[in-house]
Amino acid sequence: MPDTVLEVIPLGDAQQRVLSAVAPLPEQVVACERAAGLVLSRDVVATENIPPFANTAVDGFAVRASDVANVPTTLRVIGTVAAGDGTEWCVQSGEALRIMTGAPMPDGADAVVMVEDCEQTTSDRVTINKSVSAGNSVRPIADDVRAGDTVFAAGTVLNAAGAGVLSSMNARDVWAHPRARVALLSTGDELVTDGSPLQRGQIRESNLTMLEILVAESNCEVTNLGVVADDEVLLERVLRDAADSHDAIVTSGGVSMGDFDVVKAVLSRIAEMQWMQMAIKPAKPFAFGILSGTSEPGNGRRHVPIFGLPGNPVSSMISYELLARPALRKMMGHKQDLLRPTIHAVVDAPLRRKPDGKTHFMRVFGYFGSDGRLHVRDTGPQGSHQLAATAAANGLAIVPDGTGIDAGGAVEVMLLG
């Protein structure tokens, strides 16, 4: 464990170190209803046409377009067909079939007139009031997806509609990078989680609740291991167990220079760690390392990244966003958009800070003004323990070293969530 003062590095260097040390998780077969948000690891080729047969896009009457060239005209109604009704019909000249959205087009008919443009006078007579051309309101076979087409290329991030497409062409399973299984724990003997009255020196735990949500929002599977006491033996056991059954570990607290920073003490011993000090505020200290778990059959030894977030709640959140989230996304196969998007914004009220050689990530609320540009103002006190002001923020203004930005000035803003 290096006791010397660490070199302070730019955020970008820290991000590079972390990202270069993690790799995409091996692909797995995933059920399509579980695959939304995942990155496909292989092309998906359609094995079925969508739609599988020509059908009507509206409720109405299936006709021959040539029969309705001059309207109004009256046709003989030969029957009714609903969606899912497989009866084979044939529409001859002078005839119409009452047809409901999604029902198969009958032989002989080449167009559908919507019900609003028809008047059914008796059970077997309909007057058509609108002339339509061939193909009107008909959805041809395969006009969404054709069997043999590559519907999704490897690397696609599957969304909800995409999962629906897989389902509609009976691709029940796909190859994808799985969700990272992330173990989450907090340290600190001062932390109370059970609602009991606070004794002197105690505070209520907040980071586990917050991080569990952030990790889940990153599309990972989270195991919340709770607060682990500041006890090296216990912490080592919890970390080793977690490494055996998870793809990554996120810890909160205990990575600073204090006497009871047990995470630091234990990880220095059992993992290959990089202790970093970054030229940012908040979230200066960050610990990243690799803990080797026990062997898995056929897979060799597991190497589990550990993200040691600082305990101050705002720092915890920001270092998760800036370092852990991008790495977890890389592990889940993302190649683009590892970092949150940034956008240039107009500063509404001065964003004040003191020169200290660091880039400040100030919590701001942003809204689109009538000028079509993003405007931001800070959400209140910016201390690294002041989570309430962070709760009101939807962005982080990236304020370079100096005295801040005047009203009307421009600032780059990282958009959160």
Site residues (vs Mg ion, CB under 5 A): 188, 253-254, 311
- By CB under 6 A, the count of residues binding ligand AMP is 18
What is the closest distance, in whole angstroms, from the C-beta atom of residue 311 to ligand AMP in the complex? 3
Q: Which is nearer to ligand AMP, 180 or 314 (CB)?
A: 314
Q: Which residues, 85 to 124, sit near ligand AMP by CB under 6 A?
A: none
Partner that binds at residue 186, options ligand AMP, Mg ion, none, CB closer than 5 to 8 Å by kind: ligand AMP
Q: Which is nearer to ligand AMP, 78 or 250 (CB)?
A: 250
Q: Which residues, 237 to 266, sit near ligand AMP by CB under 6 A?
A: 252-254, 256, 258
Partner that binds at residue 182, options ligand AMP, Mg ion, none, CB closer than 5 to 8 Å by kind: none
Partner that binds at residue 203, options Mg ion, ligand AMP, none, CB closer than 5 to 8 Å by kind: ligand AMP
Residue 80 near residue 59, CB atoms below 8 Å: no
Q: Which is nearer to ligand AMP, 71 or 234 (CB)?
A: 234
Q: Which residues, 292 to 351, sit near ligand AMP by CB under 6 A?
A: 310-313
Phi then psi dihedrals of residue 146, to 5 deg: -105, 135
Q: Which is nearer to ligand AMP, 162 or 310 (CB)?
A: 310
Q: Is 212 in the site for ligand AMP (CB under 6 A)?
A: no
| List 55, 56, 186, 319, residue binding ligand AMP (CB under 6 A) | 186
What is the closest distance, in whole angstroms, from the C-beta atom of residue 282 to ligand AMP in the complex? 11
What is the closest distance, in whole angstroms, from the C-beta atom of residue 227 to ligand AMP in the complex? 7
Residue 77 near residue 96, CB atoms below 8 Å: yes
| List 60, 188, 305, 326, residue binding ligand AMP (CB under 6 A) | 188
Q: Which is nearer to ligand AMP, 39 or 278 (CB)?
A: 278
Q: Which is nearer to Mg ion, 188 or 366 (CB)?
A: 188
Give residue 42's region: left, alpha or beta (phi > 0; psi -120 to 50).
beta
Beta bridge partners of 74: 127
* E-only strand ranges, 84-170: 95-99, 111-114, 118-122, 125-128, 138-139, 150-152
Give dist(CA 130, CA 128) in Å, integer.
6
What is the closest distance, in whole angstroms, from the C-beta atom of residue 204 to ligand AMP in the complex? 7
Find the helix packing angle between 232-245 and 262-270, rounded to 10°: 60
Check residue 387 and report its DSSP letter: H
Which helix (DSSP H) or strand (DSSP E) does residue 264 occupy?
Answer: helix 262-270
Could you identify the residue written with the tokens 């299936």? 62
What is the closest distance, in whole angstroms, from the C-beta atom of residue 205 to ligand AMP in the complex? 4
Q: Which is nearer to Mg ion, 289 or 311 (CB)?
A: 311
Give dist(CA 223, CA 346) in Å, integer.
40
Six token digits for residue 371: 């000028």
Cα 11 to chain centroid, rounded: 24
Q: Specify the amino acid at residue 258.
A: G
Partner that binds at residue 136, options Mg ion, ligand AMP, none, CB closer than 5 to 8 Å by kind: none
Q: Specify the amino acid at residue 187.
A: T
Residue 82 near residue 62, CB atoms below 8 Å: no
Give dist(CA 407, CA 417) in Å, integer.
25
Q: Which is nearer to ligand AMP, 179 or 264 (CB)?
A: 264
Beta bridge partners of 152: 44
Which residues would be at the binding site for ligand AMP (CB under 6 A)?
186, 188, 190-191, 203, 205-208, 252-254, 256, 258, 310-313
